[in-house]
C-alpha cells in the first residue's frame, strides 16, 4: 500500500502520483496495481490533524486528460470538479513494482567504517565528522536515527554528526516497502491563502 498526501496552490483536475511542485517536476511514482480495488481511497481534510472525508469512488479515477479526453493512467489520479487549493488530499492505493531504497545509507556507513577501522584502508582516518544543511542535514538526521553508527566489533560510536536546518524537518521513507525518496508531507496549506508564494496576492509581505 502507498500513502501520499498533497496540497496545491491552484485548482487542477489531474494529479500525478509522484512529486509535484507547481507542475510535474520529477520523481517517479508507483503505479496502481488494480485501479478498481476497493482498497484505493482518496480523502480530503482542512488541516493535518483534521478529520478525513472520503471522496466517493465514482468522483475520481486513475486517469488524466490527454488532448481534452480522459485517458486511464495508473500514474495519475483525476478528480471530477478538480482538486481545490488549500485542501490536503491523501491517496492510499495498492501499488506494484516497489524498488529498493535506502541502500545509500548503508553504503555511507560501511565506507566510513572501512576508512576508520581497516588497517589497509586507502585513506585511513581517525575520526568522522559530518555537517549537513537542508537536504544533506535531512540525510544526516535520518542516517543517525535509521542506521547504526556503532561498530559491532569495537562497540564504539564512530561518527559525530551535526544536521543543521534539515529540509522541512522531515525524514526519508526508506523503511517502507513502497517508499518515496522525494515525497514529504506538504505544509503550504498553512499559509493563509493556501499558496506556495511568500507574498499575498496583493504583493505585500504577510
Share of the chain above pLDDT 70, in %: 66
User: What angle (nearest 5°) sits at the alpha carbon of residue 159, between those of residues 153 and 161?
Assistant: 155
Query: CA-to-CA distance for 17 and 127, rounded, in angstroms?
Result: 42
Q: HSE (CB half, 13 Å, CA atoms) of 175?
A: 6
Q: Kindly report, residue by residue over 44-67, the tens digit of the pLDDT.
A: 999 988 999 999 999 999 999 999
Output 47-53 pairs: Cβ under 8 A, ≥24 positions apart: 47/88, 47/189, 48/88, 48/185, 50/88, 52/90
User: What angle (nearest 5°) sits at the alpha carbon of residue 172, between those of residues 97 and 187?
Assistant: 110
Ranges of each domain in the chain = 2-98+175-190, 103-169
pTM as predicted: 0.62
For residue 12, the model assigns a pLDDT of 93
In this prediction, residues 102-130 reach a mean pLDDT of 86
Amino acid at each position: 500500500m502507498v500513502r501520499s498526501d498533497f496540497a496545491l496552490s491552484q485548482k487542477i483536475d489531474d494529479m500525478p502520483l509522484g512529486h509535484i511542485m507547481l507542475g510535474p517536476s520529477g520523481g517517479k511514482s508507483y503505479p496502481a496495481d488494480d485501479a478498481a480495488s476497493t482498497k484505493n481511497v482518496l480523502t480530503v481534510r482542512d488541516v493535518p490533524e483534521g478529520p478525513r472525508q472520503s471522496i466517493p469512488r465514482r468522483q475520481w479515477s486513475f486517469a488524466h486528460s490527454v488532448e481534452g479526453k480522459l485517458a486511464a493512467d495508473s500514474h495519475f489520479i483525476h478528480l471530477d470538479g478538480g482538486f481545490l487549493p488549500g485542501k490536503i488530499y491523501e491517496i492510499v492505493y495498492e501499488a506494484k513494482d516497489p524498488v529498493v531504497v535506502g541502500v545509500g545509507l548503508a553504503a555511507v556507513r560501511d565506507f566510513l567504517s572501512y576508512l576508520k577501522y581497516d588497517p589497509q584502508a586507502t585513506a585511513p582516518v581517525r575520526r568522522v565528522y559530518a555537517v549537513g544543511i537542508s537536504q544533506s542535514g535531512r540525510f544526516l538526521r535520518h542516517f543517525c536515527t535509521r542506521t547504526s553508527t556503532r561498530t559491532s566489533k569495537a562497540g564504539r560510536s564512530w561518527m559525530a554528526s551535526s544536521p543543521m536546518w534539515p529540509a522541512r524537518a522531515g525524514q526519508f521513507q526508506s523503511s517502507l516497502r513502497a517508499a518515496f525518496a522525494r515525497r514529504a508531507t506538504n505544509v503550504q496549506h498553512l499559509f493563509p491563502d493556501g499558496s506556495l508564494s511568500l507574498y499575498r496576492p496583493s504583493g505585500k509581505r504577510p
